Amino acid sequence: MEFEEKIQPQKKPLMVLGTSSGAGKSLTVTAICRILKNKGEYPVPFKGQNMSNNACVDLNGGEMAYSQALQAIACGIMPSSEMNPILLKPQGNSISEVIHLGQSQGITTAKDYYKNWFKPGWEVIKKSLNSIYKRNPNCRLIIEGAGSPVEMNLIHRDLTNLKIANHLNANCILVTDIERGGVFAQIIGTLELMQPEEKKLIKGIIINRFRGDLSLFEEGKKWIESNTQIPVIGIIPWLNETFPPEDSLDLLEKKHRFTNPEIKVGIIKLPSISNFSDFDPLENEKSILLEWVRESQTLKKYDFIILPGSKQTIKDQIFLEESGLSQNIREYSNNKGNIIGICGGLQMLGTTLEDPFFKEGSKTYSEQKIKGIGLLPLKTTFFKKKLTRQVSAESLWPCQSKINGFEIHNGQTELDKIQNEINIKPIFKDLDLGWYKENNKGGTIAGTYIHGIFENDNWRDQYINLIRKRRNLPILNTKSKSYKLKRESIIDNLANEFNKHLNISEVLS
């Protein structure tokens, strides 16, 4: 076995492992990052490999998982793709796009990934770790694992759990979700499947999502500590989670927290949906109810509908046509409906989608050029190279305002001159970032390439007031609270709740 020198950080790294996917690792890391920041430390989040289509772009145009970007915000630092050196973006049928240090490296099947990408993946993880420590030698890494660390059929190819823990000699916390049931078996089974030297790295256990009287678990806590010789450092009560989950399927289980909403929004649930964090600012508006639309139906109950981003735009547009949702959307438009598409949603609202290099989900030559929904006179051609960048722009509609966001898309969109449409107008001074069109019968169809558009408070307020005016609802004259300030408040509340029930000092030394 080849000897590999381990990194010796100045401050002991913390690693959060889980007994399963969805145990609460991401939120736990987010909370610990803010707790340590508030204690005056310099925490830095890290996840060696993440699988998610919920991505964002750092200052250098590098793609990274949104969850690590959120954790960086909790640390009070700028997100960087080094914090998530490997991002796998699923495309269906066990195929994923591979992102290394923010840059696309191509696509692979799951089988080929484990065979061909293990060594280069480990090299890019080590490169990122070295770079982070070189730039911030006094930082404390807060590392998130992935899934379970003891998937025995894959453990020899697991890049992001115990291999990193061993490499950094990290103090590890094992998080388990009591809501799922079987919490004792989850803990004991996970620990028993570890090698003795790996088990020694586990310095604390967190019981997550506990409902009811915490004192009722005291006997359970004693049993766990007696049988594992590892302290239970926290029993975290059930919290009202307000962050986007890693998996878009989990998003369907989120329950709306507000009663008597004045505006109903329908979001089309595309099979290959991406960047669903775009809707968080709307979900935090008390007057708005968000609902997912998954099958053909009349849309007239919604005040506006959103076509979200897509990882496979051609594939998702074919789904919309075959399911009848495209026709539903056209009928909704004809009935004074308001529609906004973001990125792939913008592309689908156009007249033509062309995929000459099979980049966006087309499987046959007949699918390389298909019709869009046809509500905006736009045609999109997908090229080999993807555009990823942060954006600063100035909007012209529905108001003049400074806009910040980011682009992640494979495709160039331009006006379809064959349509000879004169009513379409640019949303921004930069003419390539979005367009809108007023319907003859009322309502607006709009589309933009800017992810995070609703995070811009003035733009969001003015768009919502546009909808309210058409509903004969009173205009909201007072500015809504800044979404970014709300997000800070949410992170603070999360950290405060964890801090009440978590003995973090137990695992810092």
Tokens of 478: 């007072």
Closest CA to 168 of 128, 216, 219, 118: 128
In this structure, the answer to whether residues 106 and 224 fall within a common structural domain is yes
C-alpha neighbours within 13 Å on the C-beta side of residue 27: 29
Boundary residue ending a domain (199, 219, 238): 238
| 470 within some domain | yes
| 331 within some domain | yes
> What single-letter DSSP state applies at residue 105?
E
| 495 within some domain | no
In this structure, the answer to whether residues 138 and 286 fall within a common structural domain is no
In this structure, the answer to whether residues 206 and 312 fall within a common structural domain is no
Residue 345 and residue 301 in contact, taking contact as beta carbons nearer than 8 Å: no
Number of domains present in the structure of the chain: 2
| 139 within some domain | yes
Q: Is the peptide bond before 398 cis (omega within 30 degrees of 0)?
A: yes
In this structure, the answer to whether residues 49 and 123 fall within a common structural domain is yes
Question: Token match 């923010």: residue?
Answer: 102
In this structure, the answer to whether residues 315 and 168 fall within a common structural domain is no
Boundary residue ending a domain (212, 238, 264): 238
In this structure, the answer to whether residues 284 and 367 fall within a common structural domain is yes
| 492 within some domain | no
In this structure, the answer to whether residues 162 and 270 fall within a common structural domain is no
Helix, strand and coil content of the chain, in percent to the nearest 5, comes to: 35, 25, 40
In this structure, the answer to whether residues 29 and 158 fall within a common structural domain is yes
**Residue 247 pLDDT:** 43
**Residue 311, domain CATH:** 3.40.50.880
Active centre residues (catalytic): 343, 451
**Residue 477 pLDDT:** 77
**Residue 257 pLDDT:** 57
Structural domain span for residue 224: 14-238
In this structure, the answer to whether residues 111 and 27 fall within a common structural domain is yes
In this structure, the answer to whether residues 40 and 158 fall within a common structural domain is yes
Q: Annotate 329-380 with DSSP letters as a single string.
A: HHHHHHTT--EEEETHHHHHHSSEEE-TTS-SS--SGGGSEEE---SS-EEE
In this structure, the answer to whether residues 55 and 96 fall within a common structural domain is yes
**Residue 171 pLDDT:** 98
| 499 within some domain | no
Residues 6+ apart with CB under 8 A from 195: none
| 7 within some domain | no
pLDDT tens for the chain, 509 residues: list them: 344 666 778 999 999 999 999 999 999 999 999 999 999 999 999 999 999 999 999 999 999 999 999 999 999 999 999 999 999 999 988 899 999 999 999 999 999 998 999 999 999 999 999 999 999 999 999 999 999 999 999 898 999 999 999 999 999 999 999 999 999 999 999 999 999 999 999 999 999 999 989 888 999 999 999 999 999 999 999 886 445 544 433 443 455 556 789 999 999 999 999 999 999 999 878 889 999 999 999 999 999 999 999 999 999 999 999 999 999 999 999 999 999 999 999 999 999 999 999 989 888 888 999 999 999 999 999 998 999 999 999 999 999 999 999 999 999 999 988 766 678 999 999 999 999 999 878 899 999 999 999 999 999 999 999 999 999 999 987 777 899 998 998 899 899 999 999 999 999 97
| 224 within some domain | yes
Closest CA to 359 of 390, 331, 375, 380: 380
**Residue 212 pLDDT:** 87
**Residue 256 pLDDT:** 54
**Residue 144, domain CATH:** 3.40.50.300
Q: Which helix (H) or strand (E) holds 486?
A: helix 483-501
Boundary residue ending a domain (179, 211, 238): 238
Q: For residue 10, count CB atoms less than 10 angstroms from its CB and return exposed for 0-12, middle for 13-18, buried for 19 or more.
A: exposed
Q: For residue 506, count CB atoms less than 10 angstroms from its CB and return exposed for 0-12, middle for 13-18, buried for 19 or more.
A: middle
In this structure, the answer to whether residues 233 and 305 fall within a common structural domain is no
